[in-house]
Amino acid sequence: MIRKVLVSSVMTLFISSAPALAVETSEAKNAPIAIPAPPEGQGQVVFFRPGGTGFAVGCSVNEKGQKVSSLGAGRYFVMVAGPGRHEFTVKSEAKDNLALEVEAGETQYATCRIKMGIMIGRPDLAPSTEAEFRKHGKLKLVDADDMGPGEGALRPDQLTAAISTSSEK
């Protein structure tokens, strides 16, 4: 008898709290992606890759010959960059370049799309906008193991810390 009451109480508690859990989960999924302000005296570039064509082909963003991070379909990353000219490259069977003039305090956006190639998809790196980035609201941050030794890309824990510091200001 006590066992039935205990099980019944636990089930009632679980069922009554389930809608609240569902709302929290749903709200978290629909929350806009938080992008922190760049550090003092620095700028930043948000690289993203919407899903679609070439989902199996990676888009490895490089600067100065070093991999900064790979972008799988539906992924993004934030790269802190000093003011000045920065040249980024992506490569598969063909190479594409993107040069950006980064200014302190600004956030720029760049997108990688995969176009048709002869043997494999060709990555195309191009300037973008915050509106275009926000349009693809279900983007996920790249995993730390997709990041390379190149400087500037914020790892997931660094991005979380930057967001919390940004929101405190």
> What's the pTM value of the predicted model, to 2 decimals?
0.77
What percent of the chain has a predicted confidence (pLDDT) above 90?
51
Going by pLDDT thresholds of 50, 70 and 90, the confidence category of residue 115 is: confident
The predicted structure's pLDDT at residue 11: 38
Inform me whether the pLDDT recorded for 42 exceeds 80.
yes
> What is the reported pLDDT for 57?
64
Domain 43-168 has CATH 1.20.144: no
pLDDT at 24: 32
pLDDT at 133: 95
- Condensed to tens digits (0 to 9), the pLDDT of residues 46-73 reads 999 987 654 556 689 999 999 999 998 8
- The three-point CA angle 131-135-140 to 5° equals 110
Q: For the CA atoms of 121, 122, 126, 132, what is the dihedral angle to 10 degrees?
A: 0
Between CA 57 and CA 70 the distance in angstroms is 10
- Band (pLDDT 50/70/90 cuts) for residue 116 is low
Query: What pLDDT score was predicted for residue 120?
Result: 58
